[in-house]
Amino acid sequence: MRLEGIQTGDIVEVDRNGRRFHALVTGQAPGGLALAPTDRRVNYYSCRSREVVGHWSKRGRPRQSGAPLRPSPRQLELKLDAELNGDAELRSADADAGAAEG
């Protein structure tokens, strides 16, 4: 795996000598990453790029703004009330047809 997108604070899954563990990236190390394993039983504090199996990036909370939220254009394309009214008319027509037959 390429280490270009992995930054300090990200979580990685490492496979070292057949042992898999999760670790927090604390920085760059010569030839790989410096780690802080989440399991206290693991004594590996660095890894190479070929040992990284998975990567989860740390994301911050979305920025808050004082501006009101606007619906997306695709959300405006939905016309649920017209579809619901059409379904209700179909149901009433089916009920009338059933009453006329019986």
pTM: 0.58
Q: Can you tell me the distance from the alpha carbon of 46 to that of 56, in angstroms, rounded to the nearest whole number?
A: 17
Higher pLDDT, 2 or 15: 15
Find the distance separating the first CA and the last CA of the chain, reported in whole Å.
Answer: 70
Are 43 and 92 a contacting pair, CB within 8 Å?
no
The CA angle 77-78-83, to the nearest 5 degrees, is 135
pLDDT band at 92; cut points 50, 70, 90: low
Task: Kindly tell me if the per-residue pLDDT of 78 is higher than 80.
Answer: no
Q: Can you tell me the distance from the alpha carbon of 88 to that of 6, in angstroms, rounded to the nearest whole number?
A: 54
List the beta bridge partners of residue 55: 12
Amino acid present at 41: R
Higher pLDDT, 65 or 14: 14
pLDDT band at 79; cut points 50, 70, 90: low
